[in-house]
Amino acid sequence: MLFTLTSGSRTTVCKRKGELSAVWASGGSFAKYSLLGRRFTRRFTALRQKAPFVRRALLFGCTLIAEATIAPAVVAQKVQLSVDVSKASVKIDRNIFGQFAEHLGHGVYEGIWVGPDSTIPNTRGIRNDIVAALRALKVPNVRWPGGCFADEYHWRTGIGAQRVVTLNPNWGGVIEPNTFGTHEFMDFLDQIGAEAYISVNVGSGTPREAAEWLEYLTAAQPTTLAKERAANGHQAPYRVSSLGIGNESWGCGGNMTPDYYLSQLKIYTRFVRNFNPSQQDKQQMLKIAVGPGGSETEWAYWTEAVMRAYQNRQWSWDINGLSMHSYTVGHWPPSFASVGFGETEYSKILKFTLEMEDLVSKHSAIMDKYDPQKKVALVVDEWGAWYAPLPGTNPGFLVQQNSLRDAILAALNLNIFAHHGDRVRMANIAQMINVLQAMILTDKEKMVLTPTYYVFKMYVPFQEATFVPVAFDAGTYVHGEISLPRMDALAAKDTAGKLWLAFTNLDPNQSIEVEASLAGIIARSAAGETLTGPKVDSVNTFDAAKTVVPKPISAKVEGRKLDLTLEPKSVTVISVEQ
Ligand code: AHR
């Protein structure tokens, strides 16, 4: 193997039996070398560090081999980073931490609802363990009842003493008992402390059906529908904070063209009213139109059409949000395994997930043309990893495991949303329990919290915090053909003025030494939690629930300097005490 060092015009080639080849990239501040077929980059933060390295390497040729043959996981990379708290800007809307619960597989039935007669501890049929776990996430809103399910859902099947039993043709064709309906959903929200984001049926329903559902939910005056609600157990009007006007109306929601959808949208936003007296002014219900499902031209066309119509709207209709769906899937149909994979699949999925940045930027730019004041939010109300169904499960139930890779994926996406906080003001991970990239998995009375759950928990302090820009050179993590930023970071100032920092080390092999310089704050100490696991596909199971759980971490702080080591493949959140 060859070990080649080049500095300016000088090149040294070392030969040694075995393991190492290396290239010094001249003029840059990094050295690239490969060892046992894997590539590494050593970054130098200052010339004074680089010079001795070059001298040593050129003088002694292969002495670098000794350095490079150290086990790769302990060769820390350095990343310098600067944060200026006085530059705090846009609020990170807590609604970007929203959840999605569809009538799909065991998402609602078994996941949330076990019924009041169950031996599983519950409150009015809703699992107590799930409620306790979700309360800790401070879930801001839950999107319900779908998904594709929403465009075939007729709300009257799910109220009153006698529920109508139907089918769920979208998801396995199974029986839909409708025992979890409007009141049960609102009770669930009340128990976990979240707001309602209801999707109304545009595909197979009518504006009248949707209007009556909203009147049933929100009217305070004694209308027949409000009295029916009271008779069914809820005297006071409910709050509905967001309303989705259809779901994927270009696909499972009715295969509509943009023009056809727009004609429906205008009718629904006109007639589907929220009558709750507390939601008539600032707390008004947000109306969210169906938006794009990807980045290709057809989706740009959809966003253009809705936003152009919005710009030219009459007084009689309005929207406050445009939905966008984007899953990290690789290729359809989903074929990546959710567990039992290696570094190649890890790096590929992270590469796919980072396309969210482009997607958000692209559709935000279109929205900016028609709505420069950014009144309409981009609502990423379905996002997350979508893998091959776990062997032996009903493919219509979208059951997958949730690994450390998903935790990292979640952090990267949340960071993207926060960075676009001026436009992205709501997002809903798909889905909350037992379906796709879930927070929680259940099996009868058992429950396990996933790595994704812990990321949402660690990110709670970012809810409603103010975004603070962070400058850093992430470096590159390379695996085969895939090259990714080695690190990602997010900073924010919470409502009490405390600085929070989140770091993601994407590199599964090397730790990172972060050297942060802080401006606008005199720091005394910094500590928090870090989440990692033994392998990129490590998961929590019912029998081993603590494989990927956060553990405490602290940083070294001296005045305006903060030093912190990030473990390979980890998500870390710390707060800085002044
Ligand atoms: O989340 C699963 C499905 O994905 C939803 O029902 C649908 O909206 C999307 O295609």
pLDDT (tens digit, 9 = 90+) per residue, 328-366?
A: 999 999 999 999 999 999 999 999 999 999 999 999 999
First to last CA, the chain: 52
Question: Strand 466-468 to strand 487-493: parallel, antiparallel, or no bridges (unpaired)?
Answer: antiparallel
Q: What is the pLDDT of residue 28?
A: 37
Contact, 111 vs 440, CB < 8 A?
yes
Where in the sequence numbering do the catalytic residues fall? 248, 382
Put the strands of the sheet holding 20-24 in their side by side order.
20-24, 30-35, 38-43
Tokens 């991970």, residue located: 429
328 CA distance to ligand 1 centroid (A)? Answer: 13
* Distance between CA atoms of residues 37 and 509, nearest Å: 14
DSSP codes joined into one string, 318-348: --SEEEEEEEE-SSSSP-S-SSS--HHHHHH
* Distance between CA atoms of residues 195 and 198, nearest Å: 10
564 CA distance to ligand 1 centroid (A)? Answer: 40
Contact, 350 vs 409, CB < 8 A?
yes
Residue 137 phi, psi dihedral angles, 5° rounding: -85, -10
Which portions of the chain are predicted below pLDDT 70? 1-75
Tens of pLDDT, residue by residue over 22-48, are: 333 333 344 443 433 444 444 444 433
**Cα-to-chain-centroid distance, residue 26:** 39
Going by the DSSP 8-state scheme, the letter that residue 422 receives in this structure is T
Going by the DSSP 8-state scheme, the letter that residue 109 receives in this structure is B
Q: Whose CA is nearest to atom 6 of ligand 1?
A: 147
Contact, 448 vs 540, CB < 8 A?
yes
Q: What is the pLDDT of residue 297?
A: 82
Q: Whose CA is nearest to atom 4 of ligand 1?
A: 147
Pocket test for ligand 1, best of 248, 323, 435 (most atoms within 8 A of CB): 248
Structure tokens, 4? 């080649």
Q: What is the pLDDT of residue 74?
A: 53
Non-local (6+) Cβ contacts of 27 within 8 A are 8
Pocket test for ligand 1, best of 168, 176, 247 (most atoms within 8 A of CB): 247
167 has which bridge partners? Answer: 175
55 CA distance to ligand 1 centroid (A)? Answer: 58
Closest CA relative to residue 434, chosen from 99, 168, 97, 110: 110
CA torsion 370-281-192-500 (nearest 10°) is 60
Going by the DSSP 8-state scheme, the letter that residue 91 receives in this structure is B
Q: Whose CA is nearest to atom 2 of ligand 1?
A: 147
Structure tokens, 229? 């609600």
Q: What is the pLDDT of residue 448?
A: 98
Going by the DSSP 8-state scheme, the letter that residue 138 receives in this structure is T
529 CA distance to ligand 1 centroid (A)? Answer: 33
Closest CA relative to residue 24, chosen from 1, 47, 58: 58
Contact, 246 vs 264, CB < 8 A?
yes
Which atom of ligand 1 sits closest to the CA of residue 150? 6
* Distance between CA atoms of residues 66 and 61, nearest Å: 11
Q: What is the pLDDT of residue 281?
A: 86
Which atom of ligand 1 sits closest to the CA of residue 147? 6
The length of the chain, given as a count of residues: 578
Binding pocket residue ranges, ligand 1, CB within 6 Å:
102, 146-148, 247-248, 252, 382, 430-431, 436
Q: Whose CA is nearest to atom 8 of ligand 1?
A: 147
Which atom of ligand 1 sits closest to the CA of residue 100? 1
197 CA distance to ligand 1 centroid (A)? Answer: 15
377 CA distance to ligand 1 centroid (A)? Answer: 20
pTM, two decimal places: 0.88
Q: Whose CA is nearest to atom 9 of ligand 1?
A: 147
244 CA distance to ligand 1 centroid (A)? Answer: 14
Q: Whose CA is nearest to atom 3 of ligand 1?
A: 147
* Distance between CA atoms of residues 49 and 531, nearest Å: 31
Non-local (6+) Cβ contacts of 447 within 8 A are 127, 129, 130, 133, 440, 441, 542
462 CA distance to ligand 1 centroid (A)? Answer: 27
Question: In which element (H, E) is residue 373 found?
Answer: none
Pocket test for ligand 1, best of 170, 199, 382 (most atoms within 8 A of CB): 382
Q: What is the pLDDT of residue 14?
A: 35
Pocket test for ligand 1, best of 103, 142, 148 (most atoms within 8 A of CB): 148
Which atom of ligand 1 sits closest to the CA of residue 436? 1
User: How big is the chain by its Cα radius of gyration, in Å?
Assistant: 26
Which atom of ligand 1 sits closest to the CA of residue 248? 8
Residue 254 φ/ψ region, left for φ over 0, alpha for ψ in the -120 to 50 degree band, beta for the rest: left
Q: Whose CA is nearest to atom 7 of ligand 1?
A: 147
CA torsion 363-365-371-372 (nearest 10°) is 150
Which atom of ligand 1 sits closest to the CA of residue 431? 1
